[in-house]
Structure 1
Amino acid sequence: MPMTAATDDNDTLTYRAATPEDGAALWRLVRDAGTLELNSAYFYLIFATDFGETCLIAERDGVTVGAVVGYRPPRDPDAAFVWQVGVAPQMRGKGMGKKLLREWLKLPGVRDARWMTATITADNVPSQKLFKAVARDLGVDCTDHPHFTENLFPEPHEAERLYRIGPFAQP
């Protein structure tokens, strides 16, 4: 069931869980954002299909302008993992990342999570600030610790730290 909220400029956005039909739009959003690591189109089809209840789509006039791609890690069932937060170029500078994450926490597949997690590289200061701001706004802690070291990647890649926001009160 779609949820709606107003943006700062009074445009109405619709927030909803992803469906298989959203796979291509997710891929295009990430590609066009230009700031995220683009995965294969198949990856986004799988996430929109198999993890649709943990992936958020934000639309304006039927066009995808934001998304959160995420899932519930089997080894940490109390957590909801954020894979990517994508914001269309025309929506930047409007606090969209924070809005997306707050709406994401309302999805049926996410709302009972006690923690929000994500991995972030040391050079990705905007994502670090985003997660710290969301934690501050929600009145919970944000911690980080080493997670994926450089030697785990098959080709050169910066280490990824695990950010953990919470705990959230149970609904």
Structure 2
Amino acid sequence: MADEAARRAVAELPLLRTAAGPRDREGWAPRLKEEYRALIQYVENNKRADNDWFRLESNAEGTRWFGKCWYIHELLKYEFGIEFDIPVTYPATAPEIAIPELDGKTAKMYRGGKICLSDHFKPLWARNVPKFGLAHLMALGLGPWLAVEIPDLVAKGIIQHKEK
């Protein structure tokens, strides 16, 4: 069921066309516009489906991104800061999302709080370069990671709701 929901969410996202990263001065601006359009579409789709779960913004160059994500578990909202940099080899290389406050709390995370996406998401990204962008990273990377890890971390008592 979760796979079907993810497929539907991604099917509603625009595919990106510009194969440019931050080092490509002329191509980066059009790529960044495509990224913003796809992110806006994804957020609008999520709000329509009553599934609003993140806020994201970038620096002026579009190379450093940061924001908040949240996951509702047993009617409690768990909120986390997220951050990532656009790799110089983008879009060939997917960004690595970090949730610094969860650093060291799960085996599915690298040093610095970077979430592990290597088994499932990175091969999918590689097959879809340059069509996938940041909206796809959120929908197919961070979203599923939160859905698996947060309930597990709560069940193990590793994280607790801020009101407890």
TM-score by length of 2: 0.28
- Which structure has more helix as a fraction of its residues? 2
- Which structure has more strand as a fraction of its residues? 1
TM-score by length of 1: 0.28
Q: Which has the higher contact order (CA 8 A, sep 6+)?
A: 2
